[in-house]
Amino acid sequence: MYKKAITVAKISLSQMKNVYIITGIVVLAMVSEYITTLFVPYSKDNIIVSAGNMVMLIPLLAAIYLPAQHLRKAMNLGAKRRDFFYGAIPVYVILSAFTTLVMMLCYYTIDRWMATRIGGVLDILAVFGFIRRGPIAAFIQMCVFLMLFTSFVHTLTAAQDKWYGWAADVLIVAIISVFTPIAPLRAKLVWFFNLIIFNRYAILQITACLVLASAIYMLNKPILARKAL
């Protein structure tokens, strides 16, 4: 079973050329902004978004592409739904780790260099507060957050052809719309984001993301069982 799952993972990683191309185009656009900003007179208002952050498009687009398009291809190649379920896990782990590594390399090199020549570089690693705990903790925290993010997007995408997928969309919009303006409910929403992102204790943030990612991804088993090809 696991050999087939690994085979599915390898094929998945090799079949996402459009994902890589789209991400590459966006990253190049951000790099061009870097170059353009260097020719603008210095100002503390000259702040750009890190090009490394744009690499997050890879796991995001992969989490949409795999359940929406690649499942049928995998079935046609002889894989079973179970193989696809387990095969997607290493894909998201690898992409999350790769993305985090690129982001950190950019943060410690080109972004720091750019920050000395312009007003600043906006980087999610700093915005989330991960980098304050050092590179190792920051790598793990960002990686598990991306794993949670991809499991959520993958599951939501997989369910879109069923009524419960649309119900989930409505529920998410309702939560954002209702919880945001009402103070007690907004506090619950803030607590949740503090748990998975801005937690003062790295171990709690890491644990919460891993537990939630596993629980959300497990929902794919019944979804895959009922998914039409």
pLDDT in tens, 37-63: 888 776 677 788 999 999 999 999 999
Q: Is 189 exposed, middle or buried (0-12, 13-18, 19+ CB in 10 A)?
A: middle
- Tell me what pLDDT residue 134 has: 94
Q: Which domain holds residue 118?
A: 2-226
- Tell me what pLDDT residue 228 has: 66
pLDDT above 90: percentage of residues in the chain: 57
Q: Is the pLDDT reported for residue 202 higher than 90?
A: yes
Question: What is the pTM for the complete model shown?
Answer: 0.92
The conformation of residue 42, written as its DSSP 8-state character, comes to: P
Average pLDDT score over residue span 140-164: 93
Distance CA 126, CA 197 (A): 12
Kind plus residue range of the DSSP H or E element containing 47: strand 47-49
How confident is the model over 2-27, as pLDDT tens digits?
Answer: 788 888 889 889 989 999 999 999 99
Which pair of tokens denotes residue 45? 């208002």
Please say whether the beta carbons of 56 and 130 come within 8 A. no
Count: domains in the chain:
1
Distance CA 123, CA 139 (A): 14
Q: Which of 196, 213, 12, 216 is nearest to 94 (CA)?
A: 12
pLDDT above 70: percentage of residues in the chain: 97
Distance CA 173, CA 171 (A): 5
How confident is the model over 78-120, as pLDDT tens digits?
Answer: 778 888 899 999 999 999 999 999 999 999 999 999 888 887 8
Return mean pLDDT, the chain: 90
